[in-house]
Amino acid sequence: MKILITGHRGFIGQNMVKELAEHELSFYEWGEDAPKVKGLDWVIHLGAISSTTEKNVEKIMTQNYEFSKWLLHECIDAGVNFQYSSSASVYGLNTDFREDAPKNPMSPYAWSKFLFDRYVEQLGQTYISIQGFRYFNVFGKHENHKGDQASPYHKFTKQAKELGKIKLFTGSDKFLRDFVPVDYVCKLHKMFLKNNLSGIWNVGTGRATSFESVARMIAESLNAKVEYVPMPDHIKSQYQTYTCADLTKLKATIREKNLC
């Protein structure tokens, strides 16, 4: 199978390359010459500005939205199937996480993902498979370059090893997220490559875990302390205090199509 992966140097991209190593892979990163898709079986579009605190709206819309539309239409014209990464940030501060639930994007990044999802849903019938995966809080290997955007698992482990303490926002016992391993995300992409399905699916575990639970687990394993700090004002208004993937649609698809 011939597959183009965009964003292959990123966190999920590096893991995806390893997961799909038996296939004939090619790669694209933003800034390179426009990718050629003719003759491919699939494009897996992971490349994006993923920072939820990036304020340059024009930059985000160009890379995350306009380029995604261009690449999708290149695939439609060439008859190449298309997978892409979406985000649970489209739900914003809502607590209904069904795929068809109302959306409430709170950052330019979340808006770019919401708008592309919406564009895909309004396309109508095409002759290719278009599969969107709405990631919840992904964690795992190759997060080193993400800085403040890294998962709590990575940040807390790094702090514990380097400082002997973990800095945790006050009230983190009430901040719960659906943390999903990156290995599972990549295996799900691979599973869906074998089918001509189209749609958008939540990707998570269906369980919510508090930041405090994660911090204390890591602190205990690395003999570190937990230190509470106030949440910065600039992230308070858009901070998701709770996420938990509704996996009803994903489980039904896997069951009905016998994807396991």
Residues in the chain: 260
Report d(CA 244, CA 194) in Å as an integer.
27
Q: Per the residue annotation, which of 69, 146, 158, 165 is the catalytic one?
A: 146
Report d(CA 231, CA 243) in Å as an integer.
18
Report d(CA 183, CA 189) in Å as an integer.
10
Q: Per the residue annotation, which of 28, 84, 91, 109 is the catalytic one?
A: 109
Report d(CA 14, CA 175) in Å as an integer.
29
- From the list 81, 83, 112, the residue with the least C-alpha distance to 19 is 83
- Would you call 109 a catalytic residue per the annotation? yes
- From the list 253, 239, 120, the residue with the least C-alpha distance to 188 is 253
- Would you call 174 a catalytic residue per the annotation? no
Amino acid at 226: V
Q: Which residues are catalytic?
A: 109, 146
